[in-house]
C-alpha cells in the first residue's frame, strides 16, 4: 500500500515523516541534510521506493497574515523539482506555527535542552504537517 511522505523543507535540512499504510497516522522518519540536487534526488528516490510513495505533503511557510514569502517560493520550487524527477504529486499544507507546536511537544516529552530539540525539530514538524493533512483527509471522506 502507498504511504504518504510529509516534508518540512528548509534551506539546510528537510524533516521527513511517513504515514502508516492505512493513512491514519504520521510517524517521524528522519531529518535529511540537503546536498546537491542530484544527491537529494538519489536520497528521495530511495525513500519513495522504500515506502512506495507517490504523494508528498509539504509544509508551505506563510507569514502570519497568510501571505507567501520568499521561503514559500523556495519550497514550491524544490517540490516541483522533486515531483518531476520522482513522478510524485505534491500537496501543500499551511505550516504556520508547526515549529512552535513541535517545540512544545518535544518539551512536554522531556527534551528540555535546546540543542537536543534542534536534532528533532524538523522531523517533528514534518510529522505534524503530515498529520494535519491526514486528519483533514479523514474528515472530507467521512
Count the domains in the chain: 1
pLDDT of residue 10: 92
User: How far is 43 from 29, CA to CA, in rounded Å?
Assistant: 13
Q: State the pTM of this model.
A: 0.85
pLDDT band at 92 (very low <50, low <70, confident <90, very high): very high
pLDDT of residue 69: 83
Does residue 105 surpass a pLDDT of 90? no
pLDDT digits (tens, 9 = 90+) for 6-29: 999 999 999 999 999 999 999 999
Q: Which domain holds residue 106?
A: 5-141
Does residue 107 surpass a pLDDT of 90? no
pLDDT of residue 95: 79
CATH number of residue 60's parent domain: 3.30.420.140
Amino acid at each position: 500500500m502507498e504511504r504518504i511522505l510529509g516534508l518540512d523543507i528548509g534551506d539546510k535540512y528537510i524533516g521527513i515523516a511517513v504515514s502508516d499504510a492505512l493513512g491514519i497516522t504520521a510517524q517521524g522518519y528522519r531529518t535529511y541534510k540537503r546536498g546537491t540536487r542530484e544527491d537529494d534526488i538519489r536520497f528521495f528516490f530511495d525513500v519513495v521506493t522504500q515506502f512506495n510513495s507517490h504523494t508528498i505533503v509539504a509544509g508551505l511557510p506563510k507569514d502570519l497574515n497568510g501571505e507567501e514569502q520568499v521561503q514559500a517560493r523556495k519550497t514550491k520550487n524544490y517540490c516541483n523539482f522533486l515531483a518531476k524527477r520522482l513522478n510524485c504529486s505534491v500537496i501543500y499544507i499551511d505550516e504556520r506555527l508547526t515549529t512552535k507546536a513541535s517545540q512544545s511537544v518535544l518539551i512536554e516529552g522531556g527534551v528540555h535542552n535546546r540543542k537536543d530539540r534542534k536534532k528533532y525539530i524538523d522531523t517533528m514538524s514534518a510529522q505534524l504537517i503530515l498529520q494535519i493533512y491526514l486528519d483533514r483527509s479523514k474528515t472530507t471522506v467521512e
